[in-house]
Amino acid sequence: MARVTLLGVTMTFDAKQILDRLDLDIKNGELVALLGPSGSGKTTLLKLIAGLLSPSAGQVLFDGVDVTTVPARKRQAIIVFQDHCLFPHMTVRENIAFGLRARSESRLAIDKKVSHILQVVQLPERGGSYPHELSGGEKQRIALARACVLEPRVLLLDEPFSNLDVNLRISMREFVVALQRELKLTCVLVTHDKEEAFAMAERVAVLLDGRLEQVDTAENLYAKPANRKVAAFLGECNFLPGKILAGRFHCCLGAFPVDLPDSDHATGMLRYEHLEVRRSGDEVRGRIVGRAFAGRHTTYRIELDSGAVLTAAACQELYSVGDAVSVACAERDMNVYIG
Amino acid sequence: MHTPSKPYLLAAPLAIFLALTFGVSLSIGVSGLTPEHFYAVFANRDFTVSLVATLSVAAIATLISNVGGAVLAFFMLKVATGRAWVRHSLQLPIIMPHLVVTIIVFHFFAQTGIIARLAWWAGLIEHPNQFPLLVFDRLAIGIILVYLYKQIPFVAMVCFDSLKSISHRFGEAGENLGATPWQVAMWIYLPLLRPTLLATILITFAFAFGAFEVPFLLGTPAWRTLPVEAYVLYTNIDPGARERAMTINVTIAAISLGLALIYSKTERLIAHYRADGEGRI
């Protein structure tokens, strides 16, 4: 296990900047999720940590020691690839033993470690199978075993569950978290799935367009996103234009206390589920102009008397298009950004 | 396009070969090939020398061309992927006829050839005899050079295409797990390349084993390869020599057929690997 520190890591391909001056500190034994959409640079960052790519600028440190120029084979930062990358011509045991063989460990030691890790991943009977004989979940476990048997300083998971069906994905998440805690591994999980990142990671780093926008716990990220981009990426929300005057943000929903300087151009962010909808009341009034059933909740498009159109997600009372309603929100749910 | 006559057209060369081998022999009053003909030919020392020489030349050319071609393919994958000039420079020897390459080898490597003349011009030799014998030689160096010129690019191109179809991520995974580039090549890529190499080994060996014009033009008078021996016997005015020629032809055909059967099995193996969806070739 190692503490991983990225200092000003920048990556450029053909004059296109993939990663822009990233700083990140991952504690020893911590599981951090790198969350971002496709093309945001997540896998590039993972390969930089693993040493499969070299940064254009910046440093990668393990336990405070600069490993930027250390080749991948000596870095002990092992990736579990999205498509598992099990060697098709080797049995499960041979796949797991690959890294140990490369280290020239004795046959006896290799056999012992391989048998042990097969027990850990609960597939002791699959040692003689070939990868094409395994199910998706089994392949995933063997890929994990192949990485964990090397006792890596950092375990890097590159969208490891994206090829699995929903039920298997959930059980594999739980399995990986349990394994990470049991082995006390420093772990970086790359994913574009918010739910997966929130469920597994102690902290989530949001990577958008090559920039690390925010690193925080899942709860804080969701409730207090650092900016509009993060807010929009992490969940459906309303953006309300307004002004800040004397410590209060004024918008179509009223005035909300803020700790920001006065500004004529401010934006309030309110999650769909935080916009309360009622049949009547003294709050801001409007009418339902659209409705979409989404299973656990129903989303409503509400046109306020002021002309603003907002979206709310409600799971209790059902409204019809044309119904007169009033809307409100709690002060703590309103996030305000300058600009 | 498939037509009802296609299988017959494809089988026609084999039918002609069999007719010439057996039918002609009957027409000249011989009762047909019997085991005794084979015993007689196999007991003949010239045949044994020819068989060993032919197998040796084919084996050496096959070994060098496949090792060289595979190494060249790895080099292309690592260094020259996407460089069109590399591919074009390998395509040229493949499309060049063997006869042309034979003449090139003769002009370059004969004791009166271009290299010998350059050596004389540079003061390294004073007489053509001082230049090493590289064509018409007992070691068949000239013959092997022609095969290598044609076969190394062929093997390299086939292996390169196979290597490209193997996911490069296997190499990344191997390196990430701590393997050196040599270990990655030997433990991952070479085993995955094995079906392709088996096919190229069979193809190159079959060609070198059955080739006529190259050993005929560049071979030593000391011994003959089997196809040349068969040709010489067949053109002999002694009708009895034709029996020996036909026996040799049948032997060559039997060995070639055996190789074709092995190749067919290999093709199925390759198809199986391709079908498993795991990046195998």
Most A CBs within 10 A among B177, B274, B280, hence the mutation to make, goes to B177
**A140 found inside a domain:** yes
Q: At which of A204, A228, A252 does a domain end?
A: A228
What was the pLDDT predicted at B121?
Answer: 92
* pLDDT, mean of residues B93-117: 91
| A88 and chain B in contact, CB less than 8 A | yes
List the single residue in B183, B273, B280 with the smallest CB-CB distance to A102: B183
| A181 and A321 part of one domain | no
pTM for the structure as a whole: 0.77
What was the pLDDT predicted at B269?
Answer: 65
At A177, list the tokens: 């978290």
**A187 found inside a domain:** yes
Q: Which chain A residues are within 8 Å of B183, Cβ to Cβ? A: 102
Most B CBs within 10 A among A14, A54, A73, hence the mutation to make, goes to A73
What was the pLDDT predicted at B11?
Answer: 67
What was the pLDDT predicted at A31?
Answer: 95
Question: Which of A185, A139, A171, A182 shows the shortest CA–CA distance to A26?
Answer: A185
Task: Please name the residues in contact with A250: beta carbons below 8 A apart, sequence gap of 6 or more.
Answer: A242, A243, A244
Decide if the complex's ipTM is over 0.95.
no
List the single residue in A74, A81, A132 with the smallest CB-CB distance to B173: A81
| A23 and A116 part of one domain | yes
Give the helix ranges, DSSP H, for B44-131: 45-78, 84-95, 98-109, 114-121
Find the CATH number of the domain harbouring A300.
2.40.50.140
Chain A's closest residue to B275, CA to CA, is: A132
CA distances from A10 to A3, A5, A65, B223 (A): 20, 14, 18, 68
What was the pLDDT predicted at B31?
Answer: 56
| A105 and A161 part of one domain | yes
The DSSP bridge pattern shows strands A65-66 and A57-62 to be antiparallel
A-B contacts (CB, under 8 Å): 68
Q: Which chain B residues are within 8 Å of A94, Cβ to Cβ? A: none
| Entry field: residues in chain A | 339
Question: Which of A293, A292, A258, A280 shows the shortest CA–CA distance to A327?
Answer: A280
| A175 and A114 part of one domain | yes
Q: Which chain A residues are within 8 Å of B192, Cβ to Cβ? A: 88-89
| A301 and A184 part of one domain | no
In chain A, the number of structural domains is 2
Q: Which amino acid is at B40?
A: A
At A269, list the tokens: 């962010």
| A17 and A106 part of one domain | yes
Q: At which of A228, A263, A284 does a domain end?
A: A228
What was the pLDDT predicted at B2?
Answer: 55
pLDDT digits (tens, 9 = 90+) for B190-220: 988 888 898 899 889 988 998 999 999 998 8
**A208 found inside a domain:** yes
**A235 found inside a domain:** no
Task: Please name the residues in contact with A213: beta carbons below 8 A apart, sequence gap of 6 or more.
Answer: A206, A207, A226, A227, A229, A230
| Entry field: residues in chain B | 281
Q: Kindly determine whether residue A78 and residue B172, on different chains, have CB atoms separated by under 8 Å.
A: no
Q: Which is it for the CA torsion B10, B15, B17, B18, positive or negative?
A: positive
Q: At which of A183, A199, A228 does a domain end?
A: A228
Chain B's closest residue to A49, CA to CA, is: B176
List the single residue in A73, A87, A150 with the smallest CB-CB distance to B170: A87
**A190 found inside a domain:** yes
Identify the residue whose tokens are 């003689």: A128
Q: Kindly determine whether residue B176 and residue A146, on different chains, have CB atoms separated by under 8 Å.
A: no
| A224 and A285 part of one domain | no
* pLDDT, mean of residues B177-188: 93
Chain B's closest residue to A101, CA to CA, is: B179
Q: Kindly determine whether residue A98 and residue B174, on different chains, have CB atoms separated by under 8 Å.
A: yes
pLDDT digits (tens, 9 = 90+) for B7-66: 677 667 767 766 666 655 555 555 566 777 778 778 888 888 999 999 999 999 999 999
Q: Which chain A residues are within 8 Å of B188, Cβ to Cβ? A: 87
Identify the residue whose tokens are 């193996």: B269
Q: Which chain A residues are within 8 Å of B179, Cβ to Cβ? A: 73, 98-99, 102
Put simply, the chain B residues between 89 and 128 with a CB less than 8 A from any chain A CB are none
The DSSP bridge pattern shows strands A16-26 and A4-13 to be antiparallel
| A168 and A273 part of one domain | no
What was the pLDDT predicted at B240?
Answer: 77
Calculate what percentage of chain B has a pLDDT beyond 70. 84
Q: Kindly determine whether residue A72 and residue B175, on different chains, have CB atoms separated by under 8 Å.
A: yes
Q: Are the C-beta atoms of B101 and B148 separated by less than 8 Å?
A: no
CA distances from A273 to A222, A286, A291, A328, B33 (A): 12, 17, 14, 11, 93
**A291 found inside a domain:** yes
- The more confidently predicted of residues B16 and B96 is B96
Number of helices (H) and strands (E), helices first, in chain B? 14, 0
Min distance A102 CA to chain B CA atoms (Å)? 5
pLDDT digits (tens, 9 = 90+) for A284-319: 889 999 999 888 888 999 999 889 999 999 867 788
**A234 found inside a domain:** no
pLDDT digits (tens, 9 = 90+) for B243-268: 788 888 888 888 888 887 887 777 67
Maximum Cα–Cα distance across chain B: 73
Which DSSP category does B23 fall into? I
| A258 and A217 part of one domain | no
The DSSP bridge pattern shows strands A284-293 and A324-328 to be antiparallel
| A49 and chain B in contact, CB less than 8 A | no
Chain B's closest residue to A84, CA to CA, is: B173
Torsion on CA atoms B13, B15, B20, B22, rounded to nearest 10: 150
Q: Kindly determine whether residue A89 and residue B172, on different chains, have CB atoms separated by under 8 Å.
A: no
Q: Kindly determine whether residue B176 and residue A52, on different chains, have CB atoms separated by under 8 Å.
A: yes
Ordered by where they begin, the domains of chain B are: 42-88+152-275 (1.10.3720.10)
What was the pLDDT predicted at A131?
Answer: 92
What range defines the domain where residue A281 resides? Answer: 244-338
Average pLDDT, chain B: 83
| A250 and A188 part of one domain | no
Q: Kindly determine whether residue A81 and residue B169, on different chains, have CB atoms separated by under 8 Å.
A: yes
Find the CATH number of the domain harbouring A34.
3.40.50.300
What was the pLDDT predicted at B279?
Answer: 42
Which pLDDT tens digits describe chain A residue by residue (339 residues)?
Answer: 789 999 999 999 888 889 999 999 999 999 999 999 988 999 999 999 999 999 999 999 999 999 999 999 999 999 999 888 999 989 999 999 999 999 999 999 999 999 999 998 889 999 999 998 998 889 989 999 999 999 999 999 999 888 778 877 888 888 889 888 888 899 999 999 999 999 999 999 999 999 999 999 999 999 899 999 999 999 889 999 999 999 999 999 999 999 999 999 999 999 999 999 988 777 788 999 999 988 888 899 999 988 999 999 986 778 889 999 999 899 999 999 998
| A156 and A220 part of one domain | yes
**A236 found inside a domain:** no
What was the pLDDT predicted at B25?
Answer: 53
The DSSP bridge pattern shows strands A248-251 and A237-245 to be antiparallel
| A62 and A99 part of one domain | yes
Give the helix ranges, DSSP H, for B110-238: 114-121, 141-165, 168-176, 181-183, 190-210, 213-218, 226-234
Q: Phi-psi category of A61—alpha, beta or left, where left has phi over 0 and alpha has psi -120 to 50?
A: beta
Q: Kindly determine whether residue A132 and residue B277, on different chains, have CB atoms separated by under 8 Å.
A: yes
The Cα B42–Cα A163 span in angstroms is: 62
Find the angle CA(B188)-CA(B193)-CA(B196) to the nearest 5 degrees. Answer: 170
